[in-house]
């Protein structure tokens, strides 16, 4: 008998249940209920939008103006202060950037000069997403989802479209779509797989009967009981076994409620960022999860060979970001949702010999939505796009301040969402300047 989608999902969830259950507690009342992270994977050039630099002759930065063609009168870079936020604009190459800030700038806080402490993609991603250098730590979207689940237990705490997230000890509470939307095959019984050419059949070849399904479920429950008898008695092992049982229960809830997620997906194709934005709104509205992480599957932002590709990336990214925020507004969810636009690093100030830019251990974030101190810029960088010390409470650059590091920002997001950062990032002072008092 071939294993069914149900048993595959059950077994996969059980295998992912590798960690401790969440601590007691929950987020503080009066904070945003939802969090959506939109990740620009590969390293965006912040001088193209939210951290503009002077275009002086002989300046220290090769900004986006170096791509201006001399014979194209409308392809021109300009600086515009939008709702109090300086933004580098180009109405020909990146119109979505200016449009986004004109529409939502009053609800945005730009955080410039975040120090990542690394120029390597994976360590930078781990740090900026988890607030630690450890891949075993949960990312802040997972933490917020888990803590929100203590107040309202939904089928999943968090959903990851990006494939970049870190669940830490909370894998049983998390869901991933898969790079080819494989989750559709596990949740939608009408899904078929392409068979080999000329095979004359489709996959799956057979579907277990309800009796066989019940036998599979009983077997897995018996397996947990046997493992508990053999390995139980210690807190870590008992927690892992509890998480396995929890994953089975969440499997059943997803099978019952997951059509809102699976219907728009195409098996074998990862949804683009625009569809992810639409799905994020629908999943929050349907009560399927508390938090989500989104990222485009396509040409990444790692523009070592041709930095002019950043124009296209910004246009696609901010078009989808506008779609997401507007969708949240139309669903009456924006006031209770924090949207975080982010990347793991920025690019070097100057271009290399290939006209690309390399890695630079500083970055920016944009917060939009619930509880955000809108129309503001927190922190900054110097003329070489290097992070300046700031006051974490006011966000102002100060020689007496500290670097706004990846851990301060992660702690700040937790605090903004009503989660005590000390429980996950002990001893790390949170950035609070972006939160409306």
For 52-83, how does the pLDDT look when each residue is reduced to its tens digit (9 = 90+)?
Answer: 999 986 789 999 999 999 999 999 999 999 99
Q: Are 114 and 128 in contact (CB under 8 A)?
A: yes
Starting at the edge strand found earlier in the chain, the sheet holding 337-342 runs: 174-176, 158-160, 291-295, 34-39, 337-342, 362-369, 108-115, 376-379
Q: Does 3 fall in a domain?
A: yes
Same domain, 26 and 44: no
Same domain, 171 and 308: yes
Q: What is the predicted pLDDT for the residue at 58?
A: 73
The tokens 């960088």 sit on which residue? 381
Q: Does 392 fall in a domain?
A: yes
Same domain, 295 and 417: yes
Q: Which residues span the domain enclosing 404? A: 34-179+270-331+340-423
Same domain, 291 and 394: yes
Pairing of strands 78-82, 346-347: unpaired
Q: What is the predicted pLDDT for the residue at 21?
A: 39
Same domain, 277 and 228: no
Same domain, 127 and 172: yes
Query: Pick from 241, 263, 285: which residue ends a domain?
Result: 263
How many domains would you assign to the chain? Answer: 2
Helix (H, G, I), strand (E, B) or coil at 80: strand
Q: What is the predicted pLDDT for the residue at 19?
A: 38
Q: Does 432 fall in a domain?
A: no
Q: Does 294 fall in a domain?
A: yes
Same domain, 104 and 129: yes
CA atoms within 13 A on the CB side of 285: 17
Same domain, 278 and 405: yes
Q: Which residues of 221-256 are buried (b: 16+ CB within 10 A; e: fewer)?
A: eeebeeebeeeeeeeeeebbbbbbbbbbebbeebbe
Same domain, 170 and 300: yes
Q: Does 193 fall in a domain?
A: no
| Distance between CA atoms of residues 331 and 284, nearest Å | 9
Three-state SS across 293-337? EEECCCCCCCCCCCCCHHHHHHHHHHHHHHHHHHHHHHCCCHHHE
Same domain, 22 and 163: no
Closest CA to 144 of 318, 327, 337, 5: 337
Q: Does 371 fall in a domain?
A: yes
Same domain, 415 and 283: yes
Same domain, 255 and 275: no
- pLDDT mean values, one per 10 residues, the chain (437 residues): 44 42 60 97 98 87 96 96 99 99 99 98 98 98 98 97 96 93 87 81 82 92 94 91 90 88 91 97 97 88 97 98 99 98 98 98 99 98 98 98 99 98 98 97
Q: Does 312 fall in a domain?
A: yes
| Distance between CA atoms of residues 267 and 236, nearest Å | 37
Query: Pick from 217, 236, 263: which residue ends a domain?
Result: 263
Q: Does 188 fall in a domain?
A: no
**pTM for this structure?**
0.92
The CATH number assigned to the domain holding 80 equals 3.40.720
């Amino acid at each position: 008998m071939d294993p069914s989608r149900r048993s595959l999902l059950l077994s996969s969830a059980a295998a992912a249940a590798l960690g401790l259950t969440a601590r007691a507690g929950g987020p503080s009342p009066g904070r945003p209920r939802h969090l959506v992270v939109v990740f620009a994977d590969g390293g965006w050039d912040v001088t193209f939008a939210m951290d503009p630099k002077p275009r002086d002759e002989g300046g220290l930065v090769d900004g986006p103006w170096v791509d201006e063609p001399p014979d194209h009168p409308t392809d021109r870079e300009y600086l515009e202060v939008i709702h109090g936020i300086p933004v580098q604009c180009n109405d020909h190459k990146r119109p979505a950037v200016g449009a986004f800030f004109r529409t939502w700038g009053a609800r945005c806080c730009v955080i410039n000069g975040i120090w990542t402490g690394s120029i390597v993609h994976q360590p930078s991603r781990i740090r900026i997403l988890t607030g630690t250098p450890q891949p075993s730590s949960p990312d802040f979207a997972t933490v917020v989802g888990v803590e929100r689940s203590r107040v309202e237990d939904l089928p999943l705490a968090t959903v990851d479209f990006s494939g970049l997230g870190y669940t830490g000890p909370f894998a049983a509470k998390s869901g991933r779509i898969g790079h080819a939307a494989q989750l559709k095959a596990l949740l939608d019984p009408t899904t078929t797989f392409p068979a080999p050419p000329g095979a004359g059949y489709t996959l799956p070849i057979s579907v277990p009967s309800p009796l066989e399904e019940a036998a599979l479920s009983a077997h897995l429950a018996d397996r947990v009981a046997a493992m508990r008898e053999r390995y139980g008695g210690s807190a870590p092992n008992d927690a892992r076994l509890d998480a396995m049982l929890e994953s089975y229960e969440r499997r059943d809830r997803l099978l019952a409620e997951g059509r809102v997620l699976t219907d728009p997906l195409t098996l074998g194709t990862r949804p683009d960022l625009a569809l992810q934005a639409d799905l994020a709104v629908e999943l929050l509205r349907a009560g399927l999860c508390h938090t989500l992480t989104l990222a485009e599957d396509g040409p990444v932002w790692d523009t070592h060979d041709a930095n002019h590709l950043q124009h296209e990336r910004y246009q696609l990214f901010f078009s989808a970001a506008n779609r997401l925020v507007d969708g949240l507004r139309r669903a009456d969810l924006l006031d209770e949702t924090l949207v975080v636009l982010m990347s793991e690093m920025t690019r070097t100030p100057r271009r290399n010999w290939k006209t690309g830019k390399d890695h630079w251990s500083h970055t920016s974030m944009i917060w939009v939505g619930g509880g955000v101190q809108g129309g503001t810029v927190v922190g900054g960088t110097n003329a070489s796009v290097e992070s300046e010390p700031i006051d974490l409470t006011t966000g102002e650059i100060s020689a007496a301040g500290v670097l706004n590091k990846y851990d301060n920002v992660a702690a700040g997001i937790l605090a903004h969402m009503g989660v005590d950062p000390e429980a996950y990032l002990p001893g790390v002072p949170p950035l609070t300047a972006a939160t409306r008092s």
